[in-house]
Amino acid sequence: VTAHPSSGWAFHHWELDLSGSNNPKYIAMNANKSVRAVFIQGYSLSTSASGSGQVSPSYGAYAAGTNVQVTATANSGWTFHHWEGDLSGSTNPATITMNSNKHVTAVFVQLFTLSTSVTGSGTVTPSGGTYASGTVVTLTATPSAGWRFHQWELDKTGSVNPTTITMSSNKSVRAVFIQRFTLSTSTTGSGSVILNPSGGTYDSGSVVRIFASPAQGWRFDHWELDKTGS
């Protein structure tokens, strides 16, 4: 059974052998039936949801000029994002003025979890969180003193820092830090020490070539301290 309001009127509810405000509505013919459609002077408001959630009210008929509060309620794992149709923006609850027939859609987006971890010593910002689908999160790896950032692993790869990740599913990201050590040299007698590669500070596990260059009239004899032999 479908109720068709005239111009300037809105369907409000069913009476007699049919109740509620759904329109159209089914009725089971298991006896003689009488149905009355009640119309009021004004406009109708209908709502729908995109994604997973509910909108209240789902339907209503209101006098012209009535301000109606519309509320979107997301299901677990989802969040309200914005309104579409005859209502826009992301304010929730929102108010709509009934100066014509209106239809409003609440758009819900899924929520995903970001978790982070580290290998070595350092931190990742943010450390984790819950984000709406499509959110772009900027990740920053900060090494502790004596360490350096090396690379990202798991759901983000590469060595760009800071970097971004798009939340299209639950994500896990690991920042890998490498410890750095300092090599200092000195001489007894007259000469110099050359390091290859140069610099004096190296990643853990680096192999450094140490070359002793004697001054004129001197010769290299042996190594001492953390390196022995000749």
Tens-digit pLDDT profile for residues 169-205: 999 999 999 999 999 999 999 999 999 999 889 999 9
Element (H, E) at 139: strand 136-143
What is the pTM assigned to this prediction? 0.69
Tell me the CA distances in angstroms from 61 to 1, 44, 85, 96, one per residue in order.
18, 4, 18, 13
Q: What pLDDT is attached to residue 14?
A: 95
Cα–Cα distance for residue pair 221/227, rounded to 1 Å: 13
Q: What is the pLDDT along the chain (230 residues), one digit of tens a residue?
A: 999 988 778 888 999 999 998 889 999 999 999 999 998 888 889 999 999 999 999 888 888 889 999 999 999 999 999 999 999 999 999 999 998 889 999 999 999 999 999 999 999 999 999 999 999 999 999 999 999 999 999 999 999 999 999 999 999 999 999 999 999 999 999 999 999 999 889 999 999 999 999 999 999 999 999 999 99
Which of 148, 147, 129 minimizes the C-alpha distance to 139? 129
